Amino acid sequence: MTAPRFAEQLNEQIGNEFAAHQQYVACAIHYDALTMPQMASFFYAQALEERDHAMMMVQFLLDTDCEVQIPGVDAPRTSFTSVVDPIELALAQEKRVTEQIFALTRTAREENDFAAEQFMQWFIKEQVEEVATMNDLLTVVTRAADDVNAIEEYLRREQGAGGAGGAGGADPTAPPIAGI
Ligand SMILES: [Fe+2]
Ligand SMILES: [Fe+2]
């Protein structure tokens, strides 16, 4: 039996993950409009990952017979002042989500909900990776802020190697995604 307090908080988190999805779509479009296809595809891929996080949470609630609510989300920021701006926003977002994931884990622990606590473990690891990825990207893009081609070249190299791309290969330890 999933702790009601955890289920309620996880339903809220579904909204946060979809909000992150919308925000990354907005970032991708910013770079697409600047004709930076590598940066655009990086953020389109990040957006899909956020959508998958939301649907993993949906699947967990379905599997544990909890009611699923899909919250509305606030509009993302769509206007940016530079090539660095969206990455600073993304890094702040990932740090905020990390705190939300920790809070969910804390609730699971307080409620002695061991299945919920185990479910959260993958997201803890994922947040470490996502914060690190955005930190690296911020360093590179800040350094090359007036050399768009250098930024694009970095991403082409790193994404090709499965590095900064995030999408990488399929992760066999990832929780199941509803609908897939
Ligand atoms: Fe996420
Ligand atoms: Fe994320």
pLDDT band at 169 (very low <50, low <70, confident <90, very high): low
Residue 148 lies in a domain: yes
Higher pLDDT, 1 or 138: 138
* Sequential DSSP letters for the chain: ---HHHHHHHHHHHHHHHHHHHHHHHHHHHHHHTT-HHHHHHHHHHHHHHHHHHHHHHHHHHHTT--------PPPP---SSSSHHHHHHHHHHHHHHHHHHHHHHHHHHTT-HHHHHHHHHHHHHHHHHHHHHHHHHHHHHHTTT-HHHHHHHHHHHHHTTSTTS--S--TTSPPPTT-
Range of the domain at 51: 4-160
CATH number at residue 79: 1.20.1260.10
User: Which ligand has the nearest atom to the CA of 90?
Assistant: 2
* Dist. CA 95 → ligand 2 center (Å): 9
- Structurally, the chain folds into a number of domains equal to 1
Residue 37 lies in a domain: yes
pLDDT per position as a tens digit, 46-93: 999 999 999 999 999 999 999 999 999 999 999 999 999 999 999 999
Residue 173 lies in a domain: no
Residue 136 lies in a domain: yes
> What is the reported pLDDT for 165?
46
Residue 165 lies in a domain: no
* Dist. CA 130 → ligand 2 center (Å): 6
> What is the reported pLDDT for 170?
80
